[in-house]
């Protein structure tokens, strides 16, 4: 079965409008047929980077617009993949359904329509869809007028009684940070509904309902646990864990968040003086990072990129949901003899920070590699590893 090739094209008709601008479109090519979708983005030719198919950074809102285009590409690819996985013969006309705009009757319907259009990362969108699912479990259809202080309070209590069960593990209740995340998702779409005049600002439920703040505990792997993960032999039925183990290690080696790993594009890799650099604007903070892949962790992240490199796609890795990764990481941690740690994909980023500081990398360098806006964020990791503390004490003794 042939797969659709998606590409970003600029000024397809070779003609500028009255403002000397041209349109950016998404080209879809399948079985010798083409279909084009407008991004509704018009720019002047001088702002278009033809080599990388991106808007140049000196154009206003270039980062946000490039992200929007990348998300559209990802949504189109996922839309096609969903149809194929459901056993349906795919054709380009099916993509028209993605751009239909039906009349909005309820808040739950509004969320369902708005989630795919957001410039958020794929992981954030998946989390928002989970919130929508929980809302519908609480009340099948939530209308705009339902969203009151009392509704949010009852929904919060409902979430507190929810249990998660995976395979043969004992069920556990949602923690407060997860509950808060669902409430924050609702707040985001309530604000959006107000901005689109679908709700009256006088009925804003979060004026009285406050989301509690929770401090998260930073979990990280020790150097010997990283080595256990690297040397883990995955054969037989455990072979299925190899991809996620490698993606987790790639995150350890680079410090990239889940969203940045799975949004990594091939044109984010640049050769400078014969060395491969990863140069990317982070999805969450928009901070620009520059990572020498040949040098950091002895070139191990570059080995992983080369291992999963495939032709015909703009992204370095095939997309996997954060939930799927986290479920498998629990099994991988057990196989690697990593005990008493609730490993998630974000554990990798915490591990990068603590490991680099433990190895004596300057705090400001770690800050730049991780894309922290403030050095104070990086400094949090300076003393959470016992061995780092021991190194600091030895340094004082030898002074």
* Closest among 1, 79, 82 to 37, alpha carbons compared: 79
Domains of the chain: 5-99 (no CATH), 107-207 (1.10.150), 223-397 (1.10.443.10)
* Closest among 313, 317, 280, 267 to 7, alpha carbons compared: 313
Q: Which long-range contacts (CB under 8 A, 24 or more apart) does 301-306 make?
A: 301/250, 301/253, 301/254, 302/276, 304/246, 304/247, 304/249, 304/250, 304/253, 305/250, 305/269
Residue 120 vs residue 211, higher pLDDT: 211
Query: Percent of the chain beyond pLDDT 70?
Result: 91
Residue 185 pLDDT more than 50? yes
H or E segment at 54? strand 54-55
* Residue 174 near residue 162 (C-beta atoms within 8 A): yes
Residue 385: CB atoms within 10 A of its CB come to: 19
300, with CB counted inside 10 A (0-12, 13-18, 19+), is middle
Residue 222, classed as helix, strand or coil, is coil
Residue 94: its pLDDT value, please? Answer: 84
Residue 287: its pLDDT value, please? Answer: 87
CA 358 from chain center: how many Å?
A: 27
List, for residues 315-348, the tens digit of each pLDDT value: 999 999 888 999 999 999 999 999 888 899 999 9
Residue 15 pLDDT more than 60? yes
């Amino acid at each position: 079965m042939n797969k659709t090739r998606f590409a970003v094209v600029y000024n397809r008709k070779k003609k500028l409008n009255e403002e000397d601008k041209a349109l950016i479109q998404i080209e879809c090519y399948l079985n010798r047929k083409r279909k084009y979708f407008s991004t509704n983005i018009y720019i002047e030719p001088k702002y278009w980077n033809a080599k990388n198919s991106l808007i140049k950074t000196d154009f206003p809102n270039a980062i946000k617009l490039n992200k929007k285009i990348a998300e559209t590409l990802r949504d189109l690819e996922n839309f096609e993949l969903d149809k194929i996985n459901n056993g349906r013969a795919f054709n380009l006309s099916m993509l028209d359904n993605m751009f239909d705009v039906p009349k909005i009757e309820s808040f739950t319907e509004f969320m369902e329509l708005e989630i795919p259009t957001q410039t958020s990362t794929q992981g954030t969108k998946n989390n928002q869809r989970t919130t929508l699912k929980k809302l519908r479990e609480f009340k099948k259809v939530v209308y705009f007028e339902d969203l009151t202080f009392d509704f949010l309070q009852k929904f919060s209590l409902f979430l507190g009684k929810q249990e998660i069960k995976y395979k043969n593990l004992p069920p556990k209740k949602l923690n407060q940070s997860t509950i808060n995340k669902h409430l924050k998702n609702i707040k985001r779409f309530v604000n959006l509904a107000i901005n689109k005049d679908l709700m009256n600002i006088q009925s804003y439920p979060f004026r009285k309902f406050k989301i509690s703040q929770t401090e998260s505990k930073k979990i990280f792997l020790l150097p010997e646990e990283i080595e256990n993960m690297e040397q883990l032999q995955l054969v037989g039925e455990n072979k299925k864990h190899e991809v996620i183990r490698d993606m987790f290690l790639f995150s350890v080696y680079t410090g990239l968040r889940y969203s940045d790993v799975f949004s990594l594009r091939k044109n984010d890799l640049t050769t400078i003086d014969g060395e491969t650099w990863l140069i990317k604007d982070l999805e969450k903070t928009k901070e620009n990072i520059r990572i020498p892949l040949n040098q950091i962790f002895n070139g191990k992240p570059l080995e992983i990129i080369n291992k999963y490199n495939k032709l015909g796609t703009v992204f370095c890795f095939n997309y996997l949901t954060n939930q799927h990764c986290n479920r498998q990481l629990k099994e991988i941690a057990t196989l690697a003899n990593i005990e008493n740690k609730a490993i998630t994909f974000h554990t990798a980023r915490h591990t990068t920070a603590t490991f680099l500081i433990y190895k004596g990398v300057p705090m400001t360098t770690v800050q730049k590699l991780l894309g922290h806006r403030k050095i104070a964020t990086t400094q949090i990791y300076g003393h959470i590893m016992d061995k780092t503390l021991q190194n600091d004490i030895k340094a004082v003794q030898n002074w």
